[in-house]
Structure 1
Amino acid sequence: MSKVRLTVPPRFIIVLVVLCLCCVPCRAKDHRRYCQPSSCGNIRNISHPFRLIDDPKECGDLRYNLSCENNLTVLHLYSGKYFVLAINYENATIQVADANVHKGNCSSIPPYSLSRYNFSYDDPYSTYTLKGANWFNTYRFELSKPIIFMTCETRLENISSLYVDTSPCINALSGHSFVVTESINASDLLDSCPIELMVLSSWNGTKDVNRSYIDIHNQLLYGFELSWKEGYRRRSNSYCYIDADTNEIHCYSTSVTNLFVSGAIIIAVILWTGTKVVLGVPCVIVLLIFKLKRRHLSMYSVIEEFLQSHNNLMPIRYSYSNIKKMTRGFKDKLGEGGYGSVYKGKLRSGRFVAIKMLGKSKANGQDFMNEVATIGRIHHVNVVQLIGYCAEGSKRALIYEYMPNGSLDKHIFPKEGIISLSCKEAFEISLGVARGIDYLHQGCDIKILHFDIKPHNILLDENFVPKISDFGLARLCPLDDSSLILTAARGTIGYIAPELFYKNIGGVSNKADMYSFGMLLMEIAGRRKNLNAVAAHSSQIYFPSWVYDQFSEGNEIEIEDATGEEKTITKKMLMVALWCIQMKPSDRPNSMNNVVKMLEGEVELIQMPPKPFLYPQDMPVVADESSLEKTSSSSMPFGK
């Protein structure tokens, strides 16, 4: 019987050795998964990704720190302190309860609101879990439901069964306290009952209409569940899916190191299976390249088809070679972000421009088409002008008028701590932004909803005239449409209107931009971010809440070295901002035109707004408060 001899090319052996060496640090890096489990109180198996703060740094994930206090396992989540009741590693959920809720004391309630709104896409925790997934579909299950506390002006008679009276457990200082535990529509919310607190619960107990507040308090004691599986799926440099049968996570890494590992496995298979597989690999590579090329060509054809169908657009189309000449080979870089990079350029006429080179497109080039379709059809003093664009294969660029004073965030949140804008300049910028949004909503032949109003997207020209920019998330709709249906929330956490998360408080409309403007206006007036991690007192952490409390108590806002006129202007800006950030869209001003009139009018004509449903501090707890700069609890200097 003759023997078959398989000859292996030397270069394959060299590559295999190198790849095996590359695997060593990968394995070493993953040793944190095999640390000895920790324990605290009733939680006996604290293991990856969780860790106690005293565990070695290589154990667990630092984003999932737990502490052991008085033999109780504690999770510090945003501003709240929560006791860990259980950790389920099979379905990747953790059950926690607010530390301020006590058994046998039905008047004890959480001090801070916590709702779905607080959990952004980048958070390690989620209020959803994945019930099953494959390459094509992902099924998400909501783990926790809201419990809503509200205070009504008078005792309600014959109210809906949705409202449960909290007396005698909770006695409001003024009015009467009620709680709602079911999903409700905006029409079920009473104007005389503003929302005071919203918390989470996962209790599956009685839902009988005759339930008492004691039953609801038991829900608070039971706590709520969060998932960390969503966090891993989003954060890893991998494509991950969950096996619906075993509930295990399987990931295909896209990192360079893991590509080497995958390459080593492929080569091992090649060496084992012989010549047939070796010959088949090039075919697979060619097929993958062909598919990728086809996908990119499909995206380019979508963009090209869009440009052909909108041949009446005002901007000029430039070639990529023109773009390189304008930027002198991309020498003067102004900035960069997730969208790509921005370069300073110069037209033949001598006019300076800002050229945004777009990176990888999302949704088949939708961001590029959104900007061209929106800014390309309008011209307003407070909206950045789109001069031209480039769409040449994978090269996509947008050419804007140049804004020498950059974006607004650099002036109200300066790194050096020196505020360059005067109070009057800040007011004029605010008024200009409001006018620009009003024009987008009702000044064109079609309504344009921006969905991403924030300081970074407000640009300032040489005279500090504000210009609204970045229309990548914008949506067009007819002027007579009162609401818009969206499949997912869009915008930046901290500026997104609550109706984009809570569908039952009202439809999505132009008032979503109004809410974002209110949060922006609050930051312009205060010269600080609305969430401040270094505030010495909890009442100062969330700026809108502190401002409302000052106004409702009849206190004047303290501003360093401010004249009487500047204090009046600032108060007016803050009052208007509070009206714009009301939770329910129906409680906000009717339109941005009304907001403009409020800013242009006298502060005495602005009524005190209701207390908006203010979201809690979206930040981790600061461990060492002694190192923080202390400020007075009765005053908060602006611009610090």
Structure 2
Amino acid sequence: MYFLRCVYGNSGRPELYWPILGLLSAIEIVKYIIVLAILLRFVLAPLAVWIFLAHRYWKTRITIDAVEKFLQMQETVGPMRFAYTDIVAITSHFGHKLGQGGYGSVYRGMLPGDVNLAVKILCRSMCNGEDFISEVSTIGRIHHVNVVRLVGYCSEEPRRALVYEYMPKGSLDKYIFSGKKRFSWDKLSEIGLGIARGIDYLHRGCDMQILHFDIKPHNILLDSNFVPKVADFGLAKLYPRDNSFVPLSAARGTIGYIAPEMISRSFGVVSSKSDVYSFGMLLLEMVGGRRNAAPDQNSSLEYYPSWVYDRLTEGRELGQTSAAAAADMHVLERKLCLVAMWCIQMKSQDRPTMREVVRMLDGSVDDLQIPPRPFFCDEEHSRVGDSHHFYSELTSVSEEDE
């Protein structure tokens, strides 16, 4: 304004006042725009990027903190927590690999005092917080002779591991599918009963019922005395014991052992009876020594449950395929077959509970009736190809089932 007064007083021309004022105002606006642009470029843009990164960090941190908070609670009542350096030392730098599965690699470990362990190092792509908490919370509270014991765990982002009691005889599938390692009928019946008791404990022995969803020979481990233990709870879910069914979205498992209702609601609701179906398929494989969805060289191409049902009703041993070699079935073989056929009934309501399965296996074969033919075991022999076609169709769940 002092400049304008000088111009106005010296020139004596008032008409120049307003143009000059407008020019100065425009200059001031340009200066403000330049300052604002500098602020946006060097202050606000980095601030926006920082806010975005902070949001992502805290979102991830919340998940990690939830897992960490849960694990801190477990430390007071659950299994032991190991540091990752302890895991390295226990496994002698991962020197003895026992096996590998979809969830990671398993190594043999040892604690002072010659205590053998099995250490499962979870794959980074598979060890999300939900599955990790599921396994720790599920096995961490279980104490049963037929369920594998979780000794401890490790959680140091991004590394996670689960430490179990060591099962020297390995998994059941190594024995039932090998012609060189067959069990006697007494031992086979004892193993089947032990598995049933373990699953029944999961369903009824805890405050919350535990649905395993992946019962199969590979997930049954054997100790030094061949006592079976249910293992691998990566797919297991906890539900109130009074829940008769669970959401279809929770259903997962292995083809060949998945109950029909776990694929489509048209077969019924998902419940503890879904584990019963898987156990029935496992029991059939234990008796026949062959996988339920694959023919062997000495049998026809019949769908396996149909093949077993025919041998059951004909009274022939499952290992015999010719009439000349036919003989009366062993009483324990017949019992295992009858129980298995009840377990794989098409409708879940037609299957027994695991508590009833335990009673059937622990009782007399004379008390068991021959069940109706299971699904796809009609009078016309179903073929293995048909069963594969069935499973390939069911793996695609229709939109109306969602």
TM-score exceeds 0.5: yes
CA distance in 2, matches of 1:550, 1:608: 12
2:253 is the alignment partner of 1:491: yes
- Which secondary structure does the structure 2 equivalent of 1:399 belong to? strand
| CA–CA separation in structure 2 for the residues paired with 1:567 and 1:600 | 16
What are the ranges of 5 or more consecutive residues in structure 2 without an aligned counterpart? 1-49, 378-382, 390-402
- The answer to whether structure 1 residue 316 and structure 2 residue 76 are counterparts is no
2:303 aligned partner, one-letter code: Y
Task: Measure, in 2, the Cα distance between the counterparts of 1:375 and 1:597.
Answer: 25
Cα distance, 1:543–1:288 mapped onto 2, change above 3 Å: farther
Structure 1 position 527, deviation (Å): 1.0
Which residue of 290, 300, 309 corresponds with 1:528?
290
Once the 2 structures are TM-superposed, how far is the Cα of residue 601 of structure 1 from its aligned partner?
Answer: 1.4
Determine the C-alpha separation between the residues in 2 that align with 1:435 and 1:311: 28
Say yes or no: does 1:568 pair with 2:343.
no
Unaligned runs of 5+ in 1: 1-285, 621-640
- Aligned to 1:577, the other structure's residue is in SS state helix
Q: Corresponding residue for 2:364?
A: 602
- Return the alpha-carbon distance in structure 2 between the equivalents of residues 354 and 288 of structure 1: 42
Closer/same/farther in 2, CA of residues 502 and 427 from structure 1, 3 Å limit: same
Q: Residue 549 of structure 1: which of 285, 297, 310 is its match?
A: 310
User: Residue 373 of structure 2 aligns to which amino acid in structure 1?
Assistant: K
Match of 1:231 in 2: none
Which residue matches 2:237?
475
- Structure 2 residue aligned with 1:334: 98
Matched, 1:345 2:105: no
Q: Deviations over 1:401-445 (max 9, x none)?
A: 00000000111113xx42342222211111100000111111122
Give the partner amino acid of 2:68: E
Distance in 2 between the 1:302 and 1:418 partners? 49
Q: 2:344 aligns with which of 562, 569, 581?
A: 581
Kindly report which structure 2 residues correspond to 1:92-131, keeping only aligned pairs within 5 A, or say none: none
- Summarize the Cα distance change of 1:532–1:329 in structure 2 as closer, same or farther, 3 Å threshold: same
Flag the 1:548–1:361 CA change in 2: closer, same or farther, 3 A.
same
- Contact in 2 for aligned 1:324/1:330 (Cα 8 Å): yes
Partner of 2:148: 384
* Cα deviation code 1:505-564 (max 9, x no counterpart): 3221110110000000000011111122445765x4322111212334x3423546x998
Summarize deviations over 1:439-471 as a string: whole Å, max 9, x none: 111112221111110000000000000000001
- Give the distance between the partners of 2:361 and 2:137, measured in 1 at CA: 30
Give the counterpart letter for 1:571 in structure 2: R
Compute the displacement of 1:294 (Å): 6.9
Distance 2:149 2:317 in 1: 37
Matches within 5 A, 1:232-271: none
Looking at structure 2, the residues matched to 353 and 541 of structure 1 have their Cα atoms a distance apart, in angstroms, of 42
Q: Deviations over 1:119-169 (max 9, x none)?
A: xxxxxxxxxxxxxxxxxxxxxxxxxxxxxxxxxxxxxxxxxxxxxxxxxxx
Separation in 2, partners of 1:413, 1:567: 20
Note closer, same or farther for the CA distance 1:426–1:565 as it changes in structure 2 (3 Å cut). Answer: farther
Q: How many residues align?
A: 330
Distance (Å, rounded) in 2 between the aligned partners of 1:307 and 1:596:
34
Answer whether contact 1:434 1:595 (CA < 8 A) is retained.
yes
Deviates more, 1:299-308 or 1:366-375: 299-308
Task: Tell me by how many angstroms 1:309 deviates.
Answer: 4.4
Q: Which residue number in structure 1 is paired with residue 185 of structure 2?
A: 423
Q: Structure 1 residues 329 and 291, CA, compared in 2 at 3 Å: closer, same or farther? A: farther
CA distance in 2, matches of 1:392, 1:486: 33
Q: CA offset at residue 599 of structure 1? A: 0.8
Taking the aligned partners of 1:524 and 1:289, their CA distance within structure 2 comes to 54
The Cα shift of 1:321 comes to 0.7
1:261 is aligned to: none
Distance 1:564 1:425, change over 3 A: farther
Q: Which letter does structure 1 place at the counterpart of 2:317?
A: I
Which residue does the alignment assign to 1:393? 157
Q: Deviations over 1:256-296 (max 9, x none)?
A: xxxxxxxxxxxxxxxxxxxxxxxxxxxxxx99999987776
Q: 1:430 to 1:558 in 2, by over 3 A?
A: closer
1:384-405 residue CA offsets vs partner (Å, 9 max, x unmatched): 0000000111110110000000
RMSD: 2.8
Hey, what's the Cα distance between the residues in 1 that align with 2:271 and 2:370? 24
Determine if contact 1:407/1:460 at 8 Å carries over to the other structure: yes
Q: TM-score, normalised by structure 2?
A: 0.75
Offset at residue 305 of structure 1 (A): 2.7
Question: CA separation in 2, counterparts of 1:287 and 1:421?
Answer: 64
Residue 306 of structure 1 is aligned with which of 61, 70, 95?
Answer: 70
Amino acid at match of 2:99: G
Which structure features the higher share of helix residues? 2
Aligned position for 2:7: none
SS at 1:382's partner residue?
coil
For residue 343 of structure 1, what is the amino acid of its counterpart? Answer: Y
For 2:309, the aligned partner's letter is: Y
The sequence identity of aligned pairs, in percent, is: 52
SS of the residue 2:309 aligns to: helix
Does structure 2 retain, via aligned residues, the 8 Å contact 1:452–1:495? yes
Task: Measure the CA separation in 1 of the matches of 2:145 and 2:253.
Answer: 24
Query: How big is each residue's C-alpha offset from its partner over 1:308-361, in whole Å with a ceiling of 9 and x where there is no partner?
Result: 344443200110011111111110110111111101001123200000000124
Residue 164 (structure 2) pairs with residue 403 (structure 1): no
- Compared CA separation, residues 558 and 374, structure 1 to 2 (3 A): closer
Confirm or deny: 8 A CA contact 2:213 2:253 kept in the other structure: yes
**1:118-517 to 2 correspondences below 5 Å:** 297=61, 299-362=63-126, 364-414=128-178, 417-517=179-279
> Offset at 1:594?
0.8
Amino acid at match of 1:544: P
